[in-house]
Amino acid sequence: MDEKDIFILRKLYENEYVSGEELASSLNISRMAINKRIKSLKALGYKIESLKKKGYELSDKDIIRVWEIKDYIQSSNLFKEFIYLDEVDSTNTYVKQNQQHLESATVVYTERQTQGRGRLSRRWVDLEKGIKMSILLKLLLLDLEKIVPLTLFTGLVINRVLRKHGVQSFIKWSNDIYLNGKKVCGILSELSGEVEGLGSVIIGIGINVNAESVPENIKDIATTLKAETSKNFDRTRLIIDILNEFERELPNFDKYGFSYFRDEYKSFCLNLGKEILINGERMLCRDIGENGELVCEKDGEIIKISSGEVTIRF
Ligand code: BTN
């Protein structure tokens, strides 16, 4: 999708219908060329109808308004570029492979992931009308102590934004977002570069938003915002709000670290006070530490955990 396609989508989004002639003359291309573009947009999944004597109509307006996100990025003091891909294997992989040419604070978004990756080498199931994006942050002093909390911080930001949109979400340590006992959002942070040196961190965010349901094989553990609330969410607004909140709070994270957000994190953390299984071991979750680590108790002994697979026993 190029700038001309984005222009066409914008016109269609903002009007009930638009004539091919009008599009052709605004873009200074032929009616035939417009026809061709409409065809390829339809092939990408955009629901565009042809109305006799009127022109084209966008019948499903749940699209990403790339132009609005680009406007936001332009006004942002942190984010530099927004790359919209119709389809890609994985936005994290794309960023990793292209990071030399990408500026720090680039956001890569896609509507379709064919090889979406989750934590612990799992797959991230691709649902329609979701949010799948990666944020590249370069030139970080790769201080491992700070990277784990950065992922927790991102989870907290997303939880805050979802709540602002009326979703009663919670956080499962370390950074899964849950709604009604099922996962709606996951974050995969990946590091590259030298530890204690210059490098980059790629924060991959997947949110199940407007899909009606999830596939049968994950329906006991995952859900979508739509399935739980029967409401449609404005994905463009969610993306901008998440990026904006991330940008607004990053200086606080930089200055004070995770501890600045710890109370809020704790107030939404599902693990606290629960018996949890960590890599097969049963423990009681007592606290979230200054750096976001899980503070657990097992046989009277306090154990701090900063990574691993956690299962909560409700
Ligand atoms: C998890 O909970 O296991 C993490 C899931 C992360 C999924 C997102 S979707 C965008 C980005 N690209 C990927 O391949 N994965 C992340």
Average of per-residue pLDDT across 231-244 = 98
- What's the predicted TM-score (pTM) here? 0.95
Same domain? For 192 and 135 the reply is yes
pLDDT given at position 194: 62
Task: Write down the pLDDT at residue 197.
Answer: 60
Residues 181-186 have a mean pLDDT of 98
Measured from the CB, is residue 187 less than 6 Å from ligand 1? Answer: yes
Q: Is 311 a residue whose pLDDT tops 80?
A: no
In this model, does residue 314 exceed pLDDT 60? Answer: no
One domain for residues 89 and 175? yes
Pairing of strands 301-305, 281-288: unpaired
Span 168-181, mean pLDDT?
Answer: 96
Of the residues 23, 40, 58, the one at which a domain ends: 58
Q: How far apart are CA 191 and CA 195, in angstroms?
A: 9
Percent of the chain with pLDDT over 90: 84
Q: What are the tens digits of pLDDT across the range 92-111?
A: 999 999 998 999 999 999 99
Question: How far, in Å, from the CA of 51 to the mean position of ligand 1?
Answer: 39
One domain for residues 255 and 169: yes
Atom 11 in ligand 1: which residue has the minimum CA distance? 204
| Tens of pLDDT, residues 245-261 | 999 999 999 899 999 99
How many domains are there within the chain?
3
- Residue 287 belongs to domain with CATH number: 2.30.30.100
Omega of the bond prior to 174 within 30 degrees of 0, cis? yes
**Looking at the structure, do residues 130 and 30 belong to the same domain, yes or no?**
no
| % of the chain residues with pLDDT over 70 | 94
The more confidently predicted of residues 279 and 274 is 274
Residues 10-47 have pLDDT tens digits of 999 999 999 999 999 999 999 999 999 999 999 999 99
Residue 142 sits in the same domain as residue 10: no
Tell which atom from ligand 1 comes closest to the C-alpha of 186: 2
Residues 107 and 91: their CA atoms lie apart, in Å, by 9
Report the CATH number at residue 165: 3.30.930.10
Q: At what angle do helices 20-27 and 3-14 cross, to 10 degrees?
A: 140
Range of the domain at 135: 66-265
Decide which of 40, 58, 76 is a domain's last residue. 58
Q: How far is the CA of 202 from the centre of ligand 1 (A)?
A: 11
Specify the pLDDT at position 141.
Answer: 60
Whole-angstrom distance, CA of residue 189 vs CA of residue 179:
22
Tell me, yes or no, whether 238 and 287 share the same domain.
no
- CATH code (residue 41): 1.10.10.10
Q: Which of 113, 124, 224 should be mutated for ligand 1, with most atoms under 8 A from CB?
A: 124
Helical H segments across 63-125, by residue range: 66-75, 91-98
Residue predicted with more confidence, 97 or 142 = 97
Within this chain, do residues 156 and 291 fall inside the same structural domain, yes or no? no
User: If you measure from the C-alpha of residue 136 to the centroid of ligand 1, how many angstroms do you get, rounded to a whole number?
Assistant: 14
Q: Are 288 and 270 contacting, i.e. CB atoms less than 8 angstroms apart?
A: no
pLDDT score for 308: 64
Which pLDDT does position 90 carry in this prediction? Answer: 98
Other Cβ atoms less than 10 A from the Cβ of 15: the count is 14
109, 84: one domain:
yes
Distance 176 CA to ligand 1 centre (A): 11
pLDDT of residue 61: 97
d(CA 224, CA 127): 9
Question: In the block, which residue shows the tokens 């509507």?
Answer: 111
Q: SS3 for 179?
A: strand
Beta carbons of 11 and 26 less than 8 angstroms apart: yes
On whether both 256 and 277 belong to a single domain, the answer is no
Q: Are 297 and 277 found together in one domain?
A: yes
- Say whether both 45 and 188 belong to one domain: no
Of the three residues 41, 58, 75, the one that is the final residue of a domain is 58
Paired residues of 193 in beta bridges: 199
Edge to edge, what strands does the sheet with 106-110 contain? 81-85, 106-110, 131-141, 198-207, 182-193, 176-179, 170-172
Does the Cβ of 90 fall within 6 Å of ligand 1? yes
- Whole-number pLDDT of residue 199: 79
Same domain, 261 and 276: no
